[in-house]
Amino acid sequence: MAGIKDVAREAGVSASTVSYVLSGKRSISAKTTDKVMAAVEKLGYTPDASARKMRGMRSQIIALSAPIRGDINQARYNAYFLRTAWAARNAGYDVMLLTGPDAVKDIRRVTQSNLADGIVLLDVEQDDERAAQSGTFSKPCVAIGYPSSHADCACVDIDFVLMGQKAIDFLHEKGHRTVAFLRNNESDYDRRSGYVMLFRESLLAHARECGMTIIESEHYEADSFDAKRFVHAAFARPDRPTAIINQANASVLSRVLVELHDNGISIPQDVSVLSCGTYFEGEPTRFLVSEMPVMPEELCTEAMNLLVSAIEEHTNIKGSVKLIDPAVKHRGSVAEAGSGEAI
């Protein structure tokens, strides 16, 4: 069985450095920490009884993995971070924010060094490497999202498949048969962000089942979106849409709403607007829009409840999935097709 000296030899450092890395008692450079942790994994090193006892002591810290990207939605990012921090504090824990690009390595470093008692994953992609590798973290893990590979972590999310179906049913019941779909910016699709993929696929599939026509917006990046082109392409058609389903952020949607107004197209008299998977409490639009929003408070509270039960009661949460039903917030932008009567 490998010992601490074997790990030190493999990593090319002293035994005391290995001890400091594993205990977190002294600040060690990221480069050295990575070498030590690579040696620990390669040799399958397990600390001795006293170290294991130390590991059994809780730090009362939750690691929140939320890598920062250049195109991040700041309102949503802030909402999820703050809601998670509040839920952690209410449960008696503090939060450590991990924002680096190599998220898996960062999580392994803080969990194997006993710096955190559990992990919450934010900004989850459909093919999320953090969720796929969560079995190697040595601490319980909850993803706020629904990645395809989640055998070793719990998942909490809005049911975006149901959201897509409910959006179609909601408009279909009000007589809408041709709907424009303003999709999210292309970077979220390129990195296969879970919620945008699941919602779009469900929306398009259920629209086909209901015999509805969906006019999908062109691919775009948020800073280059052309609202004039979108409105002209959709509303110059002989079968012009009577409703818009929006997946874009508040800035993009606001540009569309202004363009509609400037072209004499009234909401909801001429076109209904329903936004889905957005968070307009944090980034309001130019006009009030009915919405099936994401729900940071509910999701973060549920995630923390699961994580604390795993930490304190040793509940096995691996592979568990909790999907919350979406709900419509009515703000007067949806009407019966052709009636103009807002709800």
- Taking the domain 1-57, which CATH number applies? 1.10.260.40
> Is 160-277 the same fold as 1-57?
no
pLDDT at 52 > cutoff 60: no
* All residues at 6 or more sequence positions from 262 whose CB lies less than 8 Å from its CB, including other chains: none
Q: What is the pLDDT of residues 266-311, one digit of tens each?
A: 999 999 999 999 888 767 777 889 999 999 999 999 999 999 999 9
d(CA 235, CA 8): 68
d(CA 315, CA 308): 9
Q: Which CATH architecture has domain 58-158+309-325?
A: 3-Layer(aba) Sandwich (3.40)
d(CA 179, CA 191): 26
Residue ranges covered by each domain of the chain = 1-57, 58-158+309-325, 160-277
pLDDT at 168 > cutoff 70: yes
Lowest mean pLDDT, pick from 49-58, 82-91, 134-143, 169-178: 49-58
Q: What fold, for 160-277? A: Rossmann fold (3.40.50)
* Token pair 């680096």 in the structure block, residue: 100
Q: Describe the crossing of helices 4-11 and 15-23 by its angle, rounded to 10 degrees.
A: 100
